[in-house]
Amino acid sequence: MKIMSDIKVTKVGIVGIGFIGSDHLHRLTKTIANVDVTAVCDIVPGKAQKELDRQGLKAKDYHDYHDLVNDPDVDVVVCTASNEAHYEIVMAALKAGKFCFCEKPLALDANQCMDIVKEEQKHGRRMLQVGFMRHYAPEYVQMKKMIDDGTIGHPLMMDERHYNQTQPEEYDSSRSIIETAIHEIDLDHWLLNDDYKDIQVFGVRKSKYVQNDQIQDPMIVMMNTKGGVNIYLEVYVRCQYGYDIKCDVIGEKGVLELPTVPQVATRLNAEYSTAILTDWKARFESAYDIEFRDFINHVSQDESPVGPSAWDGYIAAVTADAALQSLAHDGEKVDLDFPERPAFYVEK
Ligand SMILES: NC(=O)C1=CN([C@@H]2O[C@H](COP(=O)(O)OP(=O)(O)OC[C@H]3O[C@@H](n4cnc5c(N)ncnc54)[C@H](O)[C@@H]3O)[C@@H](O)[C@H]2O)C=CC1
Ligand SMILES: O=C1[C@@H](O)[C@H](O)[C@@H](O)[C@H](O)[C@H]1O
């Protein structure tokens, strides 16, 4: 007797095969069930094919994302290209009527994000998810639940750190905000169930490891929420020693502390030590896995994705635009005001 399976294989095309594109390619072919990566694309000739070969995979290799987006063998577009290419790739995917997963930031600024929001709404249902994977990290999910439960009373302050070991030489202040701090910008109001009231961004003494004058590194981001919570975030993208993410939520009765990834501690030669990770791949591995499982589960059934939305991408971009404005004006406080979340983007 032949057993019929109703499990549908989702045909995915990935645009941008750099650091995270390669990682998601591996994830979608080796970790997430019922996915066929039918096509890849990178603007640099040969780059995507080299990665396919390295991972022992076969897929169509395009150099122009339009060809991938319009390929009938691609049902879902995953955009892992550089920030400046997100807008055009996402718009093309939406215009072609395809579900789309776009890495953060959704686009370069709030205007571009609003265009995407409007394009998505033409479909009458959500078609897009943004790669704010921390919403899926079990430790942040637990923190949110404890904040909602009132475990520490009302949150009063947040104390955060977003340190990268290093970044490419051309990394500038704008990227520190729209590519690095954007994670906390997106995450904190979600954790707190609150909206931002204002933001301030300023530099401190520069690290000697900063080679260009286009970046302020480290920089301090401060936000106040409408509910009166003060958020303090250090962004330091060339800290040299490792990848270090801190998130303390200080409440009326206690403190919630984000755990670091479990590492075996060593007691040896009169020393007690634990390793610190060096990049986001290992630090948020389970979050990326859960995120893609959820996204694929929905779109494979022709259902809208339910993870971070284009509206979340837009809210983050409005905040990031204000952050850049503050940095350009020596850390002046910039007020924030957001339009009401449209019904289209309210969770059902
Ligand atoms: N959620 C997360 O934790 C992470 C998200 N990201 C995001 O993913 C994106 C990519 O980051 P990385 O992989 O680190 O950068 P990368 O520079 O290593 O890779 C980007 C790739 O996109 C390609 N590309 C650029 N424009 C293109 C176009 N028009 N068509 C096709 N390919 C194009 C580049 O040639 C490059 O290979 C960024 O937007 C970044 O913010 C990156 C790392 C972690
Ligand atoms: O999203 C990411 C990168 O694009 C970004 O460049 C890093 O700073 C972040 O830590 C990482 O999570």
With a cut of 60, say whether residue 3 has pLDDT above it.
no
Shared domain check, 169 and 21: no
ipTM over 0.95 threshold: yes
- Which of 179, 246, 278 best tests ligand 2's pocket when mutated (most atoms within 8 Å of CB)? 179
Residue 324 sits in the same domain as residue 178: yes
**Of the ranges 5-14, 272-281, 307-316, which one carries the lowest mean pLDDT score?**
5-14
Per the structure, the count of domains in the chain is 2
Average pLDDT over residues 90-112: 98
Q: Please indicate, yes or no, if residue 240 is contained in any of the structural domains.
A: yes
Same domain, 150 and 264: yes
Q: Is the CB of 176 under 6 A from ligand 2?
A: no
Quick one: 227 and 188 in the same domain?
Answer: yes
Tell whether ligand 1 has an atom less than 6 A from the beta carbon of residue 75. Answer: no
Ligand 1 pocket check for 17: Cβ under 6 Å: yes
| pLDDT at site 200 | 98
How do strand 255-257 and strand 266-268 relate by DSSP bridges?
Answer: unpaired
Whether residue 5 lies inside any domain: the answer is no
Nearest bound ligand to CA 133? 1
Tokens of 295: 């996204």
| CATH number reported for the structural domain that contains residue 296 in this entry | 3.40.50.720
Same domain membership, residue 304 and residue 259 = no
Is the domain of 245 the same as that of 298? no
Same domain (yes/no): 264, 224: yes
Distance of CA 124 to the CA centre of its chain: 25
Q: Residue 268 has which token pair?
A: 């040896």
Q: How far is the CA of 82 from the centre of ligand 1 (A)?
A: 4
**90 within ligand 1 shell (Cβ under 6 A):** no
101 and 212, same domain (yes or no): no
Whether residues 256 and 146 share a domain: the answer is yes
Question: What pLDDT is recorded for position 1?
Answer: 47
The answer to whether residue 129 sits within a structural domain is yes
Task: Name, in order, each residue with C-beta under 8 angstroms of 2's C-beta and a sequence gap of 6 or more.
Answer: none
Q: Do 51 and 180 fall within a single domain?
A: no
DSSP per-residue string spanning 235-288: EETT-SS--EEEEEEEESS-EEEPPPPP---EEETTEEE-----SHHHHTHHHH
Give yes or no for residue 43 CB within 6 A of ligand 1.
yes
Q: Is the CB of 280 under 6 A from ligand 1?
A: yes
Judge whether 125 lies within some domain.
yes
CA separation for the pair 161, 239 (Å, rounded): 11
pLDDT on residue 6: 64
* Same domain, yes or no: 130 and 200: no
Q: Could you count the other beta carbons within 10 Å of the beta carbon of residue 247?
A: 22
Residue 236 lies in a domain: yes
Q: Are residues 114 and 148 in the same domain?
A: no
- The model carries a pTM of 0.97
CA distances from 216 to 76, 96, 231, 236, 242 (A): 38, 40, 20, 9, 19
CA of 274 to the centre of ligand 1 (A): 31
Q: Taking Cα atoms as reference points, which of 305, 311, 302 lies closest to residue 119?
A: 311
Token digits for 308? 């971070």
Angle at 89 between CA 39 and CA 299, to 5 degrees: 65
Q: Is residue 2 assigned to a domain?
A: no
Instruction: Name the residue among 315, 314, 288, 294 with its Cα closest to residue 306.
Output: 294
- Domain that includes residue 35, residue range: 10-134+287-309
Please determine, for residue 4, whether its predicted confidence score (pLDDT) is greater than 50. no
